[in-house]
Structure 1
Amino acid sequence: MHFKLIVAFVNDEVTDKVLDAAREAGATGATVINHARGEGLNKKTTFFGLNLDIQVDVILFVVEEHLSRHILETIDEVGGLDKNSGAGMAIQLDVEDAIGVQHQINKLEDVIKGKL
């Protein structure tokens, strides 16, 4: 079984919605790194010299490769990533090898057989 790593950078107010939707789309779990910040195409504005940074969360999903595109599109839809400037972004990367995922493999084998 082959896996992809989906890394999603989302505004913290949509993190729970993205997690729930990704699970419904086939993700078997995630790791959330809170309180990250970043900068996109446009710099954040300031108010009397104070930065108005929006906190973002980084969500890491290790998902089965046949489910990865659907999960990625679900994250986009729920998070509004392509629709709203500054809403975040998500990428997927190939995972060459992974350990500690045998329990996920057992659960996913039946799901993947139905998709192939």
Structure 2
Amino acid sequence: MKYLRIITNRSKGSKFMQQLQAYGAKYISCLLAEGSANDHILEVLGINKERKEIVSALVNDSLVKDLLDKLSDKFDKKNTSIMFTTPIDKKGEINMEYEALYVIVDKSNADRVIDISQKHGARGATIVHGRGSGIQKKSVFLNMVIEPEKDIVIMLIKKDIAEKIKSALYDSLELNQDSNGILFSLPVSDVRGLVDQK
């Protein structure tokens, strides 16, 4: 069994969800997210985030390759949508070319995560907004507990630059301190639609 994620432009998620269901995928869901823009024109206009959706599903191993090939035909051009899978039932050493890096930080630090990662070779990133429920400071306003806003930054990075990026993030964001954030990575077994990283 593999956990499939498709990061695509906003409004395309429903179409991918229908196709996944038709191809036999299970437990299909969709999250709203933002992507870091790599386009120089967008930067000049002051737009540094693109509206994205993350579609996820569980897919049987026997269906993965065929399903990814069929779905990748739907991509307009490289790096507008990416698909990747993570094995969920593998044991032992997994030798893959890419890792899915997840960094959970306070909302104010998401752009720093992207900047640090890109300086060390990462290309794009996708941000999912959320709230924390750990031991962080919580505020009370009109008898309501206000939980701190968090961002989950997701990046696909080549394995050969992964340690350099993780170390830079760990040191720069002081992730050894309580409540500064969490960093973890998962192996990626299949990738489609990703621009090569140097």
Does the TM-score normalized on the shorter chain lie above 0.5? Answer: yes
CA distance in structure 1 between the partners assigned to 2:187 and 2:174 by the alignment: 24
CA RMSD of aligned residues (A): 1.8
Report the structure, 1 or 2, having the larger strand content: 2
User: C-alpha deviations, 1:39-98, integer Å up to 9, x for none?
Assistant: 23x365453632131101010010000111111111222222112x11110101100111
Offset, 1:22: 0.6
- Give 1:90's aligned residue: 183
Following superposition of structure 1 onto structure 2, how do residues 45-64 of structure 1 map, counting pairs within 5 Å?
Answer: 45-47=138-140, 49-64=143-158
Whichever structure has more helix as a proportion of its residues is 1
1:74 counterpart letter in structure 2:
A
Report the equivalent of 1:31. 126
Q: Distance in 1 between matches of 2:98 and 2:111?
A: 23
Residue matched to 1:112: none
- Alpha-carbon distance in structure 1 between the residues aligned to 2:146 and 2:137: 6
Asked if 2 retains the 8 angstrom alpha-carbon contact of 1:4 and 1:65, the reply is yes
Indicate the SS of the match to 1:98. strand
* 2:131 is aligned with 1:75: no
Structure 1 residue 26 displacement after superposition? 1.1
Equivalent-residue separation in structure 1 for 2:153 and 2:185 (angstroms): 12
63-72 vs 43-52, greater mean Cα deviation:
43-52
Q: What letter matches 1:3 in structure 2? A: Y
Q: Structure 1 regions of 5+ residues with no counterpart? A: 109-116
The count of residues paired between Structure 1 and Structure 2 equals 102
Percent identity for Structure 1 against Structure 2: 22
Question: Closer, same or farther in 2 for the Cα pair 1:80/1:52, shift >3 Å?
Answer: farther
